[in-house]
């Protein structure tokens, strides 16, 4: 479950960052980088702890994270 949460945030932030770059939102892109660093460290620690058993959790967290990021970015920045 920890891997799901960590991966959700990592993928969410990476997808959100991609939207920031695409829309040239420099301040948001800079701020998001720190969140990505924290989430990536959390995901690595979760994988080290769980090993291969983390794969389904990682896949699910990533799928939910990317869809949530697309919707959140649209709502926050009203870009679509």
* DSSP string across 53-80: GGHHHHHHHHHHHHHHHHHHHHHHHT--
The pLDDT tens digits of the residues spanning 4-55 come to 999 999 999 999 999 999 999 999 999 999 999 999 999 999 999 999 999 9
Instruction: List the domain boundaries for the chain.
Output: 2-77
Q: Which of 45, 7, 50, 13 is nearest to 29 (CA)?
A: 13
- How far apart, in whole angstroms, are the C-alpha atoms of residue 75 and residue 65? 15
Q: What is the pTM of this model?
A: 0.90
Rg (the chain; Cα; Å): 13
């Amino acid at each position: 479950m920890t891997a799901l949460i960590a991966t959700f945030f990592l993928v969410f932030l990476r997808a959100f960052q991609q939207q920031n770059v695409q829309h040239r939102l420099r301040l948001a892109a800079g701020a998001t980088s720190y969140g990505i660093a924290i989430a990536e460290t959390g995901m690595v620690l979760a994988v080290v702890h769980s090993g291969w058993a983390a794969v389904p959790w990682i896949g699910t967290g990533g799928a939910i994270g990317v869809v949530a990021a697309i919707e959140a970015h649209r709502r926050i920045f009203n870009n679509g």
